[in-house]
Amino acid sequence: MATSAVPSDNLPTYKLVVVGDGGVGKSALTIQFFQKIFVPDYDPTIEDSYLKHTEIDNQWAILDVLDTAGQEEFSAMREQYMRTGDGFLIVYSVTDKASFEHVDRFHQLILRVKDRESFPMILVANKVDLMHLRKITREQGKEMATKHNPVMIPHYQTCRHKPSVCNGSQTCKHGRAPGLVDADQTRAELGKLVGPRGGTDRLGVTKIPYIETSAKDPPLNVDKAFHDLVRVIRQQIPEKSQKKKKKTKWRGDRATGTHKLQCVIL
């Protein structure tokens, strides 16, 4: 199937950050996406940066991806790259229960650094090819993703009365605080209003997509994970702001492909 030529300039740039515990396969996923090879040996990453032109839904874009350190000794570096990321892949291994339990920590840190109730991210269940070692089920993964769907929504959408009646006051005349879901509005009911790909529903609730992956040949859903994150960003961030954004550097200069970033202790 023929593909369109890569535009020479004015491409939107998406800064994607891959986070998760050490050993969950973040580097294997990233290298499989960029280089189409599987790296079986685990080599702890400090930070690796990758750049790629790719076409997603007939729109060309530059993906600027940072593969991060999962080890706790590098935790001080996390806030630096989280501040500039446009979207995050939170990766855990289905064979490692601890990495699954630490999803909460990464999710909360991202929201704290971004100072947001929600932000573009995808929950990635990796190493599903290791079926005989699997400890975390698909249902548990989906439940984790649903757990992190925020329930803060605009006031005029929480109150059943017209906006002109309540007018977004601190406490409306019907006794509901702005931005809070009614107590009887369950998360399950909200979930019915969310599209299958994530994004936002008509209530403004952001769904975190869940995807299962394997970097081992033949790879499973590796391209889809990165592409779906871009789709979520496009839904939540105006496209015009992405097009105007200059390509920024994580640290220092780097060329298209890979670049090992040096850790300097001061």
- Kindly report, residue by residue over 204-221, the tens digit of the pLDDT: 445 799 999 999 999 999
Q: Provide the pLDDT for residue 166.
A: 45
First to last CA, the chain: 52
CA 181/CA 37 separation, integer angstroms? 46
17 contact partners, CB below 8 Å, separation of at least 6: 65, 66, 68, 81, 82, 85, 87, 88, 89
Residue positions counted in the chain: 266
Q: What integer is the mean pLDDT of 157-176?
A: 44
Between 161 and 126, the higher pLDDT residue: 126
CA 154/CA 36 separation, integer angstroms? 43
Question: Among 13-17, 43-47, 126-130, which is the least confidently predicted range?
Answer: 43-47
Q: What integer is the mean pLDDT of 238-255?
A: 49
Reported as a pLDDT band with limits 50, 70 and 90, residue 35 is very high
CA 12/CA 87 separation, integer angstroms? 14
Locus of tokens 């020479």: 8
Beta 87-93 vs 13-20: how paired, if at all? Answer: parallel
Q: Provide the pLDDT for residue 3.
A: 58
Q: Provide the pLDDT for residue 250.
A: 54
Closest CA to 16 of 95, 91, 71, 100: 91
State the CATH architecture for 13-148+208-245+252-260.
3-Layer(aba) Sandwich (3.40)
Between 97 and 236, the higher pLDDT residue: 97
Reported as a pLDDT band with limits 50, 70 and 90, residue 40 is confident
**What is the percent of the chain where pLDDT is above 90?**
49
166 phi and psi angles, rounded to 5 deg: -95, -35
CA 16/CA 62 separation, integer angstroms? 10
Whether pLDDT at 62 is above 50: yes
Locus of tokens 């291994």: 93
* Residue 213 · residue 125 · CB < 8 Å: yes
Q: What integer is the mean pLDDT of 157-181?
A: 43
Reported as a pLDDT band with limits 50, 70 and 90, residue 92 is very high
Instruction: Domain ranges for the chain, please list them.
Output: 13-148+208-245+252-260, 150-193
Beta 59-68 vs 199-200: how paired, if at all? Answer: unpaired
